[in-house]
């Protein structure tokens, strides 16, 4: 019998560490098994979490983007070995930063579509690039997705495509490629192929007045104060009002995002009965695709993910020296402000956890959240 008191006790302990409010839910086979919240969505006003809050998903957006792109691949839109320049011609002339970074030289090989999926394209997170700033200036802050990503093509790569793992703008570029292939704005394509089929009526890429009213207050953890402190209520990864960030632009609720996680746990079929992805694509999504050297780079970036590999936009548990209670093959990802998704196809179970705190202490929270979740399942 499931014992979610274990998970609930851990969540209840987090506000004592200076964290703001949080909300967690668990699903299995299209049924919600557990829902629990703790702390305050507004710490100053002492407003408890109600479950109605909306959050910036930050990098939990990446899982949605990859699933939407894989659905396009299933329909013959592209293959993983295609050069990105087939769809975004400006990427035909990318350059690689030379040793020392003083100049750049033409890349010896093209960026392939699979390099975008597995973060080996060579692009880091350089949001202050003068090329991006130029688009922001020219468009009055709108930054249409295709125009902004075209500017990214002028940014030098950190290495030859496919050579190393580097967490960065790859999934933003993937979103632009999807736009080019489909002829649809990325946000509209995601809504049509993922959000609506899953019944995710509270999720999207647009900040409206009604969305703003429901947003949980955003905080940032202060190492000096040892607690969350209020921070600007913005998402720096959303580069402009017309920019659909495939890497970090989704806004959603706990009630909505669990519907997406549940669909992946159930072989790509949502509770609505709609199929958003084939079971083969779900398996592809969670297959480690990093070399041993790239896995070392991945673990150096995320010390809390020892024992995991990286598939297409997700961590995937490989076992070994990780020492986690996770079953092999469970997968998911996390966002900068504390969103966290776990998907376990073997048990057809999933978890989604959200808070709104940058510098989210992920190496403390997430391994413990994972262990208490799987300890709760029987």
Residues 284-302 pLDDT 10s? 999 999 999 999 999 998 8
For residue 138, the SS3 value is: helix
Query: Cα separation of 211 and 260, whole Å?
Result: 20
The answer to whether 337 and 359 have CB atoms below 8 angstroms apart is no
Task: Take residue 32 and report the two structure tokens written for it.
Answer: 């919600």
* Backbone phi and psi for residue 366, each to the nearest 5 degrees, phi listed first: -70, -40
Question: 83: which strand partners?
Answer: 112
Q: What is the mean pLDDT of the chain?
A: 96
In this structure, which topology does domain 5-71+186-376 adopt according to CATH? Beta-lactamase (3.40.710)
**C-alpha distances out from residue 177 to 113, 192, 238, 284, Å:** 9, 17, 17, 20
Percent of the chain with pLDDT over 90: 94
Q: Which uninterrupted H or E stretch holds 351?
A: strand 349-355
Please tell me the CATH code under which domain 80-182 is placed.
1.20.58.710
The pLDDT of residue 116: 98
Confidence of residue 98 (pLDDT cuts 50, 70, 90): confident
Q: Which token pair is 368? A: 């413990």
CA–CA dist 196, 180 (Å, integer): 21
Q: What number of residues does the chain have?
A: 378
pLDDT at 2 (0 to 100): 79
Same fold, 5-71+186-376 and 80-182: no
Tokens 């299933």 sit at which residue?
Answer: 74
Would you state the structure tokens that stand for residue 243, as one six-digit string? 């920019």
pTM listed for this prediction: 0.97
Q: What are the counts of helices (DSSP H) followed by strands (DSSP E) for the chain?
A: 13, 16
Cα–Cα distance, 160 to 120 (Å, whole number) = 9
pLDDT recorded at residue 102 = 66
- SS3 at position 98: coil
Q: 265 and 31 in contact (C-beta within 8 Å)?
A: no
Taking 3-state DSSP, the helix, strand and coil percentages for the chain, each rounded to the nearest 5, stand at 40, 20, 45
Residues 121, 173: Cα–Cα separation, whole Å: 10
Question: What are the distances in angstroms from CA 81 to CA 113, 230, 313?
Answer: 6, 45, 17
User: What does DSSP assign to residue 62?
Assistant: H
Q: Please report the DSSP string for 36-73 in residue order.
A: EEESEEETTTTEE--S--BEE-GGGHHHHHHHHHHHHH
78-93 average pLDDT score: 97
For residues 246 and 172, the answer to whether their CB atoms sit within 8 Å is yes
pLDDT at 297 (0 to 100):
95
CB atoms closer than 10 angstroms to residue 226: 9
Q: Look at residue 266 and tell me whether its pLDDT is greater than 70.
A: yes
Distance CA(248)–CA(171), nearest Å, equals 9
Domains in the chain: boundaries: 5-71+186-376, 80-182
Residue 92's pLDDT band, with cuts at 50, 70 and 90, is: very high
């Amino acid at each position: 019998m499931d014992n979610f008191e274990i998970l609930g006790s851990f969540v209840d302990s987090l506000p004592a560490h200076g964290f703001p409010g949080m909300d967690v839910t668990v699903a299995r086979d299209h049924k919600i098994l557990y829902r629990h919240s703790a702390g305050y969505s507004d710490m100053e006003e002492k407003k408890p979490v109600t479950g109605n809050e909306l959050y910036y998903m930050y990098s939990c957006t990446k899982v949605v983007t990859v699933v939407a792109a894989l659905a396009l691949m299933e329909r013959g839109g592209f293959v993983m070995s295609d050069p990105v320049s087939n769809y975004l011609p400006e990427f035909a002339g990318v350059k690689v930063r030379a040793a020392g970074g003083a100049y750049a030289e033409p890349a010896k090989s093209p960026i392939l579509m699979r390099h975008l999926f597995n973060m080996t394209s060579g692009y880091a997170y350089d949001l202050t690039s003068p090329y991006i700033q130029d688009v922001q200036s020219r468009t009055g802050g709108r930054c249409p997705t295709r125009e902004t990503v075209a500017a990214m093509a002028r940014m030098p790569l950190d290495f030859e495509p496919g050579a190393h793992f580097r967490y960065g703008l790859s999934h933003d570029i993937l979103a632009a490629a999807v736009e080019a292939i489909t002829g649809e704005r990325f946000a509209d394509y995601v809504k049509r192929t993922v959000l609506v089929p899953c019944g995710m009526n509270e999720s999207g890429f647009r900040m409206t007045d009604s969305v703003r009213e429901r947003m949980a207050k955003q905080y940032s953890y202060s190492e000096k104060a040892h607690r969350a402190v209020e921070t600007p209520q913005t998402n720096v990864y959303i580069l402009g009002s017309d920019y659909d960030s495939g890497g970090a632009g989704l806004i959603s609720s706990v009630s909505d995002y669990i519907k997406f996680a549940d669909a992946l746990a159930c072989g790509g079929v949502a509770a609505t009965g709609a199929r958003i992805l084939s079971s083969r694509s779900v398996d592809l999504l969670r297959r480690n695709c990093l070399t041993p050297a790239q896995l070392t780079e991945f673990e150096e970036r995320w010390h809390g993910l020892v024992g995991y590999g990286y598939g297409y936009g997700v961590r995937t548990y490989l076992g070994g020296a990780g020492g986690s209670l996770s079953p092999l093959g469970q997968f998911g990802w996390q966002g900068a402000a504390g969103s966290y998704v776990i998907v376990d196809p073997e048990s057809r179970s999933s978890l989604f956890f959200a808070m709104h705190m940058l510098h989210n202490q992920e190496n403390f929270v997430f391994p413990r959240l994972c262990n208490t979740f799987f300890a709760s399942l029987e």
